[in-house]
Amino acid sequence: MNTPSHLIINLALLRRPVAPLMTWPILIGAFIPDAAMFVFYGWAKAKGLPEHTIWSVAYYSQPWQRIFAVGNSIPLGLLGVALGYSLKRYWLGFVGASMVLHHLADLPLHHDDAHQHFWPISSVRFISPISYWDVHHFGRVGATLELVLVLAATAYLLPRLNTTASKIILAAAVVLLGVGYILLVGP
C-alpha cells in the first residue's frame, strides 16, 4: 500500500475516542515500515540512478532488502505492543500495533515486492497474487481496494478531526492518492 493510505486507515482504526487519542504514536507506527524506503529513494537519487533502475534493480539489492526487512517485521511490531503494555508505556503499544496493522495491510497487496514480514525468525516472503500497483498482477483490483478503504477511513475521520489544518492535510492526501489511482487505472 501507499504510505499515506496506511496513515489514514491506521488512524481511523486505532485512534482512541477519548484522550489520549494516540494520534502521533499511530501515525509514527504507520510510517516506520516505509521509513527506510524514503532513505533508500534519497540515496538512489543522490547517486543519480534512473527511476527504472531504482525500483527494478536497486530496490531488490542487498543490503537494502535486509534493511527493509527490519521495519517490515511483524515480530518487531508485536514486541512493541508487548513492551508498551508490560512497561505501561501505552504510546509504545500503539506504535507497535500501528506497525502490525501496516504489515497486515501490505501482506495481501504485494507481489514480487513482498516484504520479509517475519524477520528475524524467517526470511520467507508471502507473494500475493494481487499487487497494489502492478497491473500485471491485478494491480487495478488492488489499487481499487486500497482506494475504497482510504475513502471509507476518510469519511469516518473527517468529522472527528479537531483542527481545520488536520482536515485540510487529510483531504489533500486523499486527492493525491486519487490522482495516483487515476494515473494507474486510467487509459
CA 17 to chain centroid, in Å, comes to: 23
Q: Kindly state whether residue 146 participates in binding Zn ion, applying the rule CB under 5 A.
A: no
Long-range contacts from 140-147, C-beta under 8 angstroms, 24+ separation: 140/184, 140/185, 142/109, 143/181, 143/184, 143/185, 144/181, 144/185, 145/109, 146/1, 146/2, 146/5, 146/109, 147/177, 147/178, 147/181
Q: Which is nearer to Zn ion, 38 or 43 (CB)?
A: 38
Q: Which is nearer to Zn ion, 34 or 134 (CB)?
A: 34
Q: Which is nearer to Zn ion, 104 or 168 (CB)?
A: 104
Q: Which is nearer to Zn ion, 5 or 154 (CB)?
A: 5
Stretch that binds Zn ion, among 26-34, 53-61, 120-128, 155-163 (CB under 5 A): 26-34
| Cβ neighbours around 118 below 10 Å, total | 17
Residue 6 beta carbon to Zn ion: minimum distance, rounded to whole angstroms: 6
Q: Kindly state whether residue 134 participates in binding Zn ion, applying the rule CB under 5 A.
A: no
Q: Kindly state whether residue 106 participates in binding Zn ion, applying the rule CB under 5 A.
A: yes
